[in-house]
Structure 1
Amino acid sequence: MNLPDLVAAHFSRACSGALPGERVMLLSIEPEVTRFVFGSADEPEGNVVLQLGANAVVRGPFKGGFPDESRLETAIAVVEDELMKGWALPGEPRLLSLVEPTLFDVAQASGYRPQPRIELDIQAVEGLFGRLAAVSYGSPAAQQGLPMDAEFAARLLILREVLHHLRFDGVMLLA
């Protein structure tokens, strides 16, 4: 399978902690697209590419900067529209893997034990997203323990919407 080198490397990292024969689903939130890569034992079997990435969200609904509440709501609708197009993903696994150093650091700062992998269930991601929403309504980012970074906000938004609308149980963050 022809994958970008960085995506292939991230898939290999996701597989490194899997049991033999265990299926892996990597979520790769890239600048212009969001990609799901699935397979097992370091062997990707397929991938699905959504036509929306972090920079596309920042340029589009975020209008080039950190979102206020109106722009965040618009971005949610745009991401939902892309997700509802009926993408054919395999039914297993229900836990995504994601290489996302900034979100990993935020999770650690939020009290998750420092380790090579941090598992967040959907409620934990919703909690992080609630903090992002608070910043969009004017709460200081530092008070919420989040970076004031539009691309980070876009990646967290995409992750939250993927978990919610595609019914994943959670995400395994890799540093």
Structure 2
Amino acid sequence: MHELHHTLRQLYLRARTLQPEGAITVLQLSAGHCGFASGSGAAPASSTLLALGTQLGASLFRHAPPTVQEMEHAIMQVEDSLAPVRPTLAADSQLYCADAEVRALAGHAGVSGDGILWLPTEQLEHTFGRFAEVVQGRPAALERLPVDAEFAATLLIVRELTHHLGFAGIRLLP
């Protein structure tokens, strides 16, 4: 647990070098955890770890793509898990992430490149809508989206946190 908080702090310091002023929040999404560090200063004012990660898909999604009922259940679970985090985050902060899975998600949303990338919430919402069409029966090949549980969980978690925690998007660090 201490190691995860240390990793969050390092990610925060890395993002702080890119944005020396203003509030920032960093996200670390792994198989078993979702971590946040947030603040306006040189060091994060808060650090939060949730037992919510991409392996959520393996426990909730029995089908590929998930069924409508599986997605609805997962959405409720993710929303409930994220709700207590909102008060711990610095107001009006910019969200940063360096996770490979989230960068891959950005590629499926049409955002790709080698440097720092910007994935706006609107583009993420559009990608979630495309995935919802696949869940409702549209052939996945038409949308060119993966249908595995890990991708579904990553998309769901990132969409819900940007949507419900009020971020305009995510800056993806290389």
How many Å separate the matches in 2 of 1:11 and 1:91?
A: 13
- Does the Cα contact within 8 Å between 1:58 and 1:64 map onto a contact in 2? no
Report the residue type matching 2:145 in the other structure: L
How many Å separate the matches in 2 of 1:12 and 1:103?
A: 19
How many angstroms does 1:171 deviate by? Answer: 1.3
- Equivalences for residues 31-70 of structure 1 within 5 A: 31-39=31-39, 43-55=43-55, 57-63=56-62, 66-70=65-69
* The structure with more strand, counted as a fraction of residues: 1
- Does the Cα contact within 8 Å between 1:27 and 1:97 map onto a contact in 2? yes
- Equivalences for residues 71-150 of structure 1 within 5 A: 71-85=70-84, 87-108=86-107, 110-112=109-111, 114-150=113-149
How many angstroms does 1:59 deviate by? Answer: 3.3
Q: CA RMSD in A?
A: 2.9
Q: Which runs of 5+ in 2 are unaligned?
A: none
Structure 1 residue matching 2:60: 3-state secondary structure:
coil
How many angstroms does 1:84 deviate by? Answer: 2.8
1:71-112 residue CA offsets vs partner (Å, 9 max, x unmatched): 111100111122234653233343211223344245346543
Q: Which runs of 5+ in 1 are unaligned?
A: none
- Does the Cα contact within 8 Å between 2:65 and 2:134 map onto a contact in 1? no
How many Å separate the matches in 2 of 1:22 and 1:137?
A: 41
How many angstroms does 1:119 deviate by? Answer: 1.4
- Does the Cα contact within 8 Å between 2:60 and 2:74 map onto a contact in 1? yes
- Does the Cα contact within 8 Å between 2:86 and 2:165 map onto a contact in 1? no
User: CA separation of 1:10/1:138 partners in 2, compared to 1, >3 Å: closer, same or farther?
Assistant: farther
* The structure with more helix, counted as a fraction of residues: 2
The number of residue pairs the alignment matches comes to: 173
How many angstroms does 1:138 deviate by? Answer: 2.8
- Does the Cα contact within 8 Å between 2:25 and 2:96 map onto a contact in 1? yes
How many Å separate the matches in 1 of 2:115 and 2:131?
A: 24
Q: Which residue of 1 aligns with 2:18?
A: 17
- Does the Cα contact within 8 Å between 1:48 and 1:88 map onto a contact in 2? no
User: CA separation of 1:86/1:100 partners in 2, compared to 1, >3 Å: closer, same or farther?
Assistant: closer
How many angstroms does 1:127 deviate by? Answer: 0.6
How many angstroms does 1:115 deviate by? Answer: 4.4
